[in-house]
Amino acid sequence: MRPGWDEYFMQIARTVATRATCPRASVGCVIVRDQRILTTGYNGAPRGVAHCADVGCTMLDNHCLRATHAEANAIVQGALHGISLQFGSAYCTHQPCVNCSKLLISAGVTKIIYEHPYPDAVATTLLGEAGVTLAVYSSLESGRS
């Protein structure tokens, strides 16, 4: 069967996540507009910095400080290549944290679809205040088209 758009883009986000270089989590993000992929990102160290997989994580308060989050990397790719993300939708394997939520809001993303919850009340509040739709992906509801 031909996958629906949500299923298609979430499958791609899962594939992007396989490139992650922080062993704590494999996270992928695909930002699309009008059913076209604009950018992708996965969690890993910044350009020119050793990856967690090679030198270990730099931990503080149970968070890795070495890795850049997938959503932030997807936004950076847009900036590096002159691609506007305004009015885009982000397909994320994991619900964005508060910092990534703020970046997605500022980049003009209007919808976030995620598969795995990472509850953050502040992120949810800010996304709602900014008018960004936050939706849980469900393969049963994705439909075919």
Phi-psi region of 4 (alpha: psi -120 to 50; beta: other; left: phi over 0): beta
Residue in 7, 71, 129, 141 annotated catalytic: 71
Give the distance, in angstroms, between the CA of residue 135 and the centroid of all CA atoms in the same chain.
13
71 is catalytic: yes
H helices of the chain, in order, are 5-17, 52-55, 70-80, 98-107, 121-129
- Indicate which residues carry an active-site annotation: 71
